[in-house]
Amino acid sequence: MDARGALLALLDEAFEKKAWHGPNLKGSIRGLSAAQAAWRPAPGRHSIQEVTVHAAYWKYAVRRKLNGAKRGSFALAGSNWFARPEEPDAAVWKRDAALLAGEHKELRRTVAGLSKAVFGDAAKVRLIYGIAAHDLYHAGQIQILKRLYAGA
């Protein structure tokens, strides 16, 4: 397997493909209600919905860095953490989950289309495996938030 294939496999496993380590990011939000997604473990703590949009943003940011696109084209105004409705809203939650899936699809398309020379650029390769690690970090965080919600 070449570097492109290995990085694409890593992106896929961290986001949506079956993995030995347990739930991936997409699996961690599958089937969640708007109430579960909007719940906070304490005031000032992030909800699953906020983590989901945060993960979508960083997929966008990595894609933008890889293809040289300008800032400011993300679907929501702002960067990094985005305020989401305090009250559960099924339509907004559905759009946020779709935003994450769409940003993953676009990131994957970008990585698949990169020139072979890019895979010799250590900084760009680190961005790609770093965003996969970011997915897995937040998948674990979401799993913890789900358990806390169940006990609340």
Res 152 pLDDT > 80: no
Mean pLDDT of the 124-145 span: 97
Average pLDDT of the chain is 95
Mean pLDDT of the 60-69 span: 94
CA distances 122 to 1, 7, 129, Å, are 18, 13, 11
- In angstroms, the CA 88 to CA 90 distance is 6
Q: Considering the chain, what percentage of its residues have pLDDT values greater than 90?
A: 89
CATH classification number, 3-151, choose in 3.90.1520, 1.10.8, 1.10.3470, 1.20.120: 1.20.120
